[in-house]
Amino acid sequence: MPDPSPPPPLSGTYRSMSRSHVGRVRKVNEDRVLDRPDRALWAIADGMGGHRGGDIAAELAIAALRGLADDPAEITPASIRGALEQANAAIFERGAAAGGVIGSTVVALHIAGGDAWIFWAGDSRAYRGEDGAWQQVTRDHSLVQQLVDQGLIDSAQAAHHPQANVITRALGVNTAVQIEALCRTTMPGDLFLLCSDGLSRSLDSSIPAGFGGAGEALADEILAGALDRDGSDNISFVLVTGGESRARRRA
C-alpha cells in the first residue's frame, strides 16, 4: 500500500497566509485558494460562469494543483503546466455538460532550487514586494491590457474602463489554453502576493509590502482595506515569504 503520510517539507522555509472573502455585493464566492507552504505551491483561481458554476470551475483548477501538492513526487514546471491543462479539459467538459461556458482565471507560484516559477491565465495576478511597494510581476490577459499595449488608453483609464472585466484567456473556455509562465531568481526573505482581481483593482500604495512579524495582522489589514475601497467582487489572496538555501539552483 502507498504511504499515506503527507509529503515531507522542502528544504526551504516558507511562511504563507491566505484570505478569501465573498465581498460586499456577491452572494457566492467563486474564488478558490491553494496555500501549501509544505510543498512551496500556492495558487488563486477566480471562477466565472455565475449560476452555471464559476465556483466549480475555480475548484477544479485548484483541485488539479492540490493533486500535485498531495503527491510525494517532485513538483516541476512541466507537472504544473500539465495539471493546469488537465483542469482546462475538466472545466470545459463541465461547462459543456451544463449547456454553457464556465471558466476560471488562475495564478500559481512554486518556489524550488532558488527559483520562483509563476504560471497564469487571465487577470489573477502575482506581485512581488520590492522596496516597500508592490511590483506587478504578471501581465493581464485582458482586453484593457491589449488596449494599453496598443497605446489607446493608459493604465489609469484601464482601471475604470467599462470592459475592464473582459479577459482574453481562462481555463475551461476552449479545448486548449495558453498558460503563460515566467521564472524569477529568489532571495531569502522575498515577499510574493497572489490575488484575484477583487484585490488587485483596489491594491495601492497604502497597502504595506512588508511581512516581518505582522503575519495574520497584515493579511487582515489587506482584506479590510480592499473591502473598504471596493468590495464589489470576491477578494482572495495569498502572501508568501521565505527563501531556500542558495545551494540548490536550477541547471
Going from N- to C-terminal start, the domains of the chain cover 13-138+171-243
- CATH class of this structure's domain 13-138+171-243: alpha beta
CB–CB of 169/159 below 8 Å?
A: no
Residue linked to cell 481555463: 171
Q: Report residue 20: phi and psi, to 5°.
A: -145, 125
CB–CB of 124/46 below 8 Å?
A: yes
State pTM to two decimals. Answer: 0.87
List pLDDT tens digits, range 33-66.
999 999 999 999 999 977 678 999 999 999 999 9
Give the integer Cα–Cα distance in Å for 99 and 72: 37
Helix (H, G, I), strand (E, B) or coil at 33: strand
List pLDDT tens digits, range 112-160.
989 999 999 999 999 998 877 788 999 999 887 777 777 787 777 776 7
